[in-house]
Amino acid sequence: MKSGKELDALIAQKVLGWKSLKRRWSNGAHSGVLDYWVDENGTEMGSVLPKFSSDIEAAWEIVEVLECVQFTLNWRQNWEWEAHFAILDPKTQDPDIYEGTGESAPLAICLCALKTTA
């Protein structure tokens, strides 16, 4: 999967628990439908998603949300980035290890994060 809006939406939904909603609007002369995002608590997060899969600052938010006991990000010799998350299994307290690779660090982080939701 490549960086872009589709992957950013998957991250918002599956990893962060956000929902996409629609709101009708009208100003008298014009009307339409606005798509917007809310988090798991119902807090409005805006109509434009952060670029999780292409912006390292936005991707870092994912690392923080996942509460990893260990996180590594490596540049590989084959021109790819590799991300590893170790997340404690709540039942066994043993770490589950996830890996994602991509052409950029944000992409590797996102692909790895998606694997934690499987």
pLDDT digits (tens, 9 = 90+) for 56-86: 999 999 999 998 889 999 998 888 999 999 9
Q: For residue 118, what pLDDT is reported? A: 81
Mean pLDDT value across the chain: 93
CATH number at residue 97: 3.30.2120.10
102 closest CA partner among 51, 52, 53, 64: 53
User: What is the mean pLDDT of the segment spanning 23-29?
Assistant: 86
Q: Which domain holds residue 92?
A: 5-115
Spatial CB neighbours of 36, under 8 Å, sequence gap ≥ 6:
20, 21, 22, 23, 44, 45, 46, 47
| pLDDT class of 89 with cuts at 50, 70, 90 | confident
Query: Tell me: the pLDDT tens digits for 1-22?
Result: 899 999 999 999 999 999 999 8
d(C-alpha 87, C-alpha 74), whole Å: 18
Q: Quote the number of domains for the chain.
A: 1
Residues 33-53 have pLDDT tens digits of 888 999 999 999 988 999 999
